[in-house]
Amino acid sequence: MRGEQARVIGITGGIGTGKSRVARYLAQRCLVERVDLDNICRKLLAPGAAGLRAISNAFGAVFFTASGELDRVAFRRALFADDKLRTQVDALLHPLAREAMKQQIAGCQGMVFVEIPLLFEAKWQQDVDAVIVVAADTNEQVKRIIQRDKVTEKQALQSIASQLPLQDKIAMAHHVVDNSGAWQSTCHQLDQLAETLGCKD
């Protein structure tokens, strides 16, 4: 299932909590590899890639531009607004993304951080040895989503509601990082966590 020598630490949390920044910091702090599921999914949806073909076969041209590329903004908004559509797309893309993730992990030794936004939603807990949940208060999440994705407050709240509640994720975590406040405060938590995980200075 996993590379025998790799200790796999999953990093997840709610949308807009700062998972990617935390994952990058920890990977640099611990001098280990980082696997990013969002990046894997982007590659799966590139022209000619397996994920894009699966979307085209399932839904036709509805989410594509006139030039045949995926309209990522429209696609993303549709996913957050439609539970049934999101379930259909997840069923198409999750097996492809999971296989690509496993292939990347198999090439790693020692410890590897794997950023999996929908780790609990996809029920991939068995693919990791421990889970770090990155948390933030809802107001901070909304502010970050609006700034990053250029969406309305309603759309930001919609995207938060589309995921498993953050408190449920926290309850299943081995480690929790509160990224609600100043980044300096988060870094202090991450330095302590790195020591707990056995990272060398």
Q: What are 100-127's pLDDT values in tens digits?
A: 999 999 989 899 999 999 999 999 999 9
Condensed to tens digits (0 to 9), the pLDDT of residues 23-51 reads: 999 999 999 999 999 999 999 999 999 99
Give the pLDDT score at 1.
42
Give the pLDDT score at 67.
86
Show the domain range for 89: 6-195
Number of domains making up the chain: 1
CATH number at residue 169: 3.40.50.300
The token pair at 58 is 């399932």
151 within a domain of the structure (yes/no)? yes
116 within a domain of the structure (yes/no)? yes
Give the pLDDT score at 3.
40
145 within a domain of the structure (yes/no)? yes
Give the pLDDT score at 146.
96
SS (H, E, C) 89-123: HHHHHHHHHHHHHHHHHHCCCEEEEEECCCCCCCC
Q: Are 162 and 86 in contact (CB under 8 A)?
A: yes
Residue numbers of the chain with a pLDDT score lower than 50: 1-3
1 within a domain of the structure (yes/no)? no
Give the pLDDT score at 200.
76
128 exposure class (CB count in 10 Å sphere: 0-12, 13-18, 19+): buried
In whole angstroms, give the CA distance from residue 37 to residue 175.
20
In whole angstroms, give the CA distance from residue 92 to residue 43.
14
201 within a domain of the structure (yes/no)? no
